[in-house]
Amino acid sequence: MDKKRKVYAPFSLTSEAGVAQTPVEGYIDVNQAIYPTVQTGVVNENGTWVGVKADDNEFIGFTKHIEVANGGAVLAPVTSEQSYIDMSGFADLFIAIKPSRGGECALEAVMGPDTNRFANLEPVDAAAGLFGSLESRLGDFTLDRLFKDSAQALTADVWNIFIFQERLAGQKMMQFKITNNSGGISTIEFAYMRLV
């Protein structure tokens, strides 16, 4: 939207031209334009384009493991499009699990598959538990498992949804290891959604 207005100037057109006199109340025309902008990212210090992160709008990475034996473990996500979860730039994570048989399962955040690089490193220790320093307690610095739950009760034939706040933030290549401890064969579905 263009708008023309007059504003007071500390100099006049004659003083701008080099004349050594300044009249009282010199006004000049100023064209003022307002343009909308959208911030979609920046070029960082490495010269790489980095887009602005946004929450996933829906659950993604849908994986279905059919007839997992009692005591059997599966990794998720495992699809042709997504074989791991990239939490770069994300803080929180929802995971959803839909078993066909109710009962307990074990959940663990693990390193993603060795078919992918972790930044510039390969191979990685695939399916190994993720460790990190969760907090510093006055000099007590230890590496702890970032997430491992040995017994989580799940309801059959519905999506059981869990949120991880900041604990798994920034993980570049991660999967979830789901162990069926329901007492029988179960089909296990999985999906996830990331939040900034």
Which tens digits make up the pLDDT trace of 67-115? Answer: 999 999 999 999 888 899 999 999 999 999 999 999 999 999 999 999 8
Note whether 67 and 121 are same-domain residues: yes
Examine residue 189 and state whether it is found in any structural domain, yes or no. yes
- Domain assignment present for 48: no
> What are the counts of helices (DSSP H) followed by strands (DSSP E) for the chain?
1, 14
Residue 14 lies in a domain: yes
Same domain, residue pair 22 and 93: no
Q: Are 111 and 29 in the same domain?
A: no
Q: Which CB contacts under 8 angstroms, 24+ apart, belong to 117-126?
A: 118/172, 118/173, 119/172, 124/173
Asked whether residue 92 falls in the same domain as residue 11, the answer is: no
**Domain shared by 100 and 27, yes or no:** no
pTM of this structure? 0.76
Mean pLDDT of 5-27: 58
Total count of domains within the chain: 2
Domain check: are 69 and 116 in the same one?
A: yes
* Residues 61, 27 share a domain: no
Same domain (yes/no): 117, 163 = yes
Structural domain range at position 95: 56-135+142-195
Is 39 among the domain residues?
Answer: no
